[in-house]
Structure 1
Amino acid sequence: MKGLPRGSFDVIVNKHNANKYTKQFGYWQHVVAMIYAQLSGASSLRELQAGFNGHVTHHYHLGASAIKKSTLADANNQRKDAVFVDVVQLLMQKASRSVRQQSQEWLCLLDSTPIFLKGREFDRWTEESKTRHTQGLKLHVLYDTKAEVPTWQSITAPNVNDVTKAWDVPLHKGAIYVFDKGYCDYGWWRDIDLAEAQFVTRFKCNAGVSIEKELPIEVADKGVVISDQIVRFKHKHTRAKCKLHYERPLRRVTVMREDKATPLVLATNDLTSSAREIAQRYKERWGIELFFKWIKQHLKIKSFFGRSENAVRIQLLTALIAYLLVALHKQTHHLKATLWECLCLIRATLFQRKELDDHREQKRRREEQRMYQFQIGLFT
């Protein structure tokens, strides 16, 4: 929990005036209990209550106290998620800042994943917004490949188009944004270019472009790269949004795929990097799929403690908070282990204080050595 300073958390709570109507069970106690649920793998509120209250001697160091499952259930259902959203944003900035300063290339992956919610109580608020494939919510994430942490998130209904939320993604100078063709919006591509950032994505099959220049293919890339071209869009929009049309030249790189017969047609505003580098950047988009798989396998976002929309959102946000705290722990202590190994270690020693344990072990060894000096040797 050192990754989330109490002072910074209190600033967020005061900003929203969130503790105005709370008595004993404040927001800090709430977030500590929900982080414990994520890290311990508790399967129900009853198990959460028993496990957390079983370590009553450690509550003082956490600034918490014993919890009741009914109180926690009410808090999840009634409290707004604004505090949790700001905490996630604070930890995202903290986790990616140091790595971003050390790295020359800042590669960001953008995608979304469905959160399936169907059944009793869920149907009351998910039926209206469901799509043909998804009923529940959708988690949108911008993922930093160097820091291995998300840097932006949003939770929406599944019928919200991915490219609609793309306009909310913060754009940074010098960053490289990688996304699939579901984010095909030429006006948004233009905004990325104006922010002095780069993007790598895929052209749609019906994209009307004219070829301006054929670029040479390196000898080493001829087995992979089919063509490398500078292109422009043929047509300009005649609608009111014509000012958002992408008018600058683009790079169209066509590469072979090992697992499919059809080639991959990539679009980018990077006119200087090699075709192989551009293809490799798009290949690294698989990293965000692995992130979604990781949090769904190792954190608590498949089954939920509450069935209201508010409870589900809070549980999703605390899963991201738990992930970021584990990532910060790994960064702070310069651990070589994988994130999964770090989580296993934290889960196994959740209420142990390493410094105190080390001090006791050193004291025990000193006492053992002292007593050894007074022992009579059997063989001299």
Structure 2
Amino acid sequence: MQHTKLSGQPILCQLLSFNPRELVDQATETFKSDYYYKTMSTWKHLVFMLYGVISKTNSLNSLCKCLLFLEHKLSYLGISKLPASSTLSDANCRRPNEVFGYIYYLLLAHYKAEISKGYLSLPINGEVSPDQVKLVDSTTLTLFTDVFKGAGRNPMTGKKKGGLKAHAMLPLDNMVPELVWLTAACTNDKDFLGQLKPQRGSIYVFDKGYVNYSVYKKWTEDGSFFVTRLNENANYEVIDTHREDLHDFLSGVTVLDQLVTLKTGEGPLKLRLITYKDPLKGKIFRFVSNLFDFHSHTIVLLYKNRWEIEPFFKKIKQNFELVYFFSDSREGIKTQVWMVLIANLIFTVIHKRIKEAEQFTTLVAMAKSNLISYICFQTMLQTRYLSEEQRNLEIVQLDIFQIEQGGCFEEKGKITLNSQKTH
């Protein structure tokens, strides 16, 4: 019987088919990243490193050894020769990581309309559309080398480990980063605001680690909006105060809604200060924003949605290889982070296409365990229930020997031992 779930290529190649070759060629030409490389092209580098981060291989040598099991399966991708460890190591050290960052942004533009469907559709508090909201935060990746300076003080004993900080901006409607900036862990978060090119009408939500009054003033003048928390030692002057209803205070919502001015290097800046009481913990929070036309609770909900960026960081760390790095060079470490982001984007597209029939983690785990299988990946993901025929798996090894021929088998409660047979 013909197997209807087989694909013409292994799952690894099916995943790579989501990365159009013309986009890789475009990035290669833009950065001239194939110059001085005879065998390790940008495309091959991308394929080998993606295999490493998806399979969660924990060293470069292990990665090259595992590639041997692919045999000729990479011929579907135009690859007929596997790399030596030294060749891949050299590419990680010398090839600029920016070319893979550019590939990521090209892929994001290619799939943007597809991944934006269906994540969030209802306006926040009935006022703000999710596609207006951009979440800003960072996460730190611990390194066993100090090629990137780590954050914090040096320990009393031993040497401080290095660290790479990934700053990201995610749109609330699809949770795939629109902007990523990779720096040493010691870099101040507020420097990332200088990398942003804010869009008029968009709302940027971030924590108080990004405080920068000059940027706030510029954004306000340019028609961009923000919501953040106010530092405890902030110096401001209250212009007007609107106290919410006493019942609101007792139920744990907005306590105060004030207009304040902050002093900046370019002059005073008028902002809105919302004081909020958490109904569960009773803790007081102060949010500052240049949104003057929305309900105060809308601003509170906007900041609460900022925590949606934390599951994203957790997702990429749990599902892809970001604990062990295949290189101890600056370029190689950043390249691996871009590979993880590309892999996350590919699996996000697949997750959308199967209408989230499986959890994201399950989807990645299935691919990781079956990268050289020829089963059609999307078809298998959408198979909710196996038929009786599919669940009836024969043990071929047991069929080789019949009961009459001896061996240790059980049939209808009887055991026939080879030692009991007479010859």
Does TM-score exceed 0.5, indicating one fold?
A: yes
> 1:105 maps to which residue?
130
> 2:225 maps to which residue?
198
In structure 2, how many angstroms separate the alpha carbons of the residues matched to 1:76 and 1:32? 13
Deviation string 1:89-116 (CA, Å, 9 cap, x unpaired) is: 2233344444558754222211111222
CA gap 1:78/1:177 in 2 versus in 1, 3 angstroms: same
Deviation string 1:221-276 (CA, Å, 9 cap, x unpaired) is: 44222423232315453xxxx2xx462x3221111235655410001112222222
Deviation string 1:283-314 (CA, Å, 9 cap, x unpaired) is: 12222222222222221111112212222111
Equivalent residues of 1:163, 1:185 under 8 A apart: yes
- Size of the aligned set, in residue pairs, is 348
Q: 2:345 aligns with which of 301, 324, 348?
A: 324
How far 1:30 sits from its partner (Å)?
0.4
Read off the aligned partner of 2:260 and give its amino acid letter.
Answer: R
1:263 maps onto 2:290 in alignment: no
Equivalent residues of 1:215, 1:230 under 8 A apart: yes
In structure 2, how many angstroms separate the alpha carbons of the residues matched to 1:316 and 1:236? 36
In structure 2, how many angstroms separate the alpha carbons of the residues matched to 1:113 and 1:197? 25
> 1:299 maps to which residue?
320
TM-score, L = length of structure 2:
0.74
CA gap 1:52/1:259 in 2 versus in 1, 3 angstroms: farther
Read off the aligned partner of 1:77 and give its amino acid letter.
Answer: C
> 2:178 maps to which residue?
151
> 1:280 maps to which residue?
301
In structure 1, how many angstroms separate the alpha carbons of the residues matched to 2:115 and 2:70? 35
In structure 1, how many angstroms separate the alpha carbons of the residues matched to 2:116 and 2:174? 7
Equivalent residues of 2:262, 2:271 under 8 A apart: no
Task: Extract unaligned runs of 5+ from structure 2.
Answer: 1-15, 122-128, 155-160, 380-388, 390-423
Task: Spell out the pairing of 1:125-140 with structure 2 (5 A cutoff).
Answer: 125-126=147-148, 131-132=152-153, 135-140=162-167
Q: 2:95 aligns with which of 47, 58, 79?
A: 79
1:160 maps onto 2:187 in alignment: yes
CA gap 1:356/1:198 in 2 versus in 1, 3 angstroms: closer
CA gap 1:15/1:27 in 2 versus in 1, 3 angstroms: same
1:5 maps onto 2:20 in alignment: yes
SS at match of 1:54: helix
> 1:57 maps to which residue?
72
In structure 2, how many angstroms separate the alpha carbons of the residues matched to 1:263 and 1:294? 30
SS at match of 2:137: strand
> 1:25 maps to which residue?
40
Deviates further, 55-64 or 25-34: 55-64
Task: Spell out the pairing of 1:156-235 with structure 2 (5 A cutoff).
Answer: 156-215=183-242, 217=244, 221-222=248-249, 223-233=251-261, 235=263
In structure 2, how many angstroms separate the alpha carbons of the residues matched to 1:220 and 1:354? 60
Q: Which has the larger radius of gyration?
A: 2
> 2:364 maps to which residue?
343
Percent identity between the aligned chains?
26
Structure showing greater relative contact order (alpha-carbon pairs closer than 8 Å, 6 or more residues apart): 2
How far 1:132 sits from its partner (Å)?
2.1
In structure 2, how many angstroms separate the alpha carbons of the residues matched to 1:348 and 1:12? 30
Read off the aligned partner of 2:328 and give its amino acid letter.
Answer: R
Read off the aligned partner of 1:31 and give its amino acid letter.
Answer: L
Equivalent residues of 2:115, 2:348 under 8 A apart: no
Deviation string 1:311-353 (CA, Å, 9 cap, x unpaired) is: 2111111111111111122224433333212212322332344
In structure 2, how many angstroms separate the alpha carbons of the residues matched to 1:356 and 1:165? 38
Deviates further, 91-100 or 1-10: 91-100
> 1:141 maps to which residue?
168
In structure 2, how many angstroms separate the alpha carbons of the residues matched to 1:232 and 1:2? 54
How far 1:177 sits from its partner (Å)?
1.1
Read off the aligned partner of 2:240 and give its amino acid letter.
Answer: K
Task: Extract unaligned runs of 5+ from structure 1.
Answer: 359-364, 366-380
In structure 1, how many angstroms separate the alpha carbons of the residues matched to 2:238 and 2:260? 7
Read off the aligned partner of 1:33 and give its amino acid letter.
Answer: F
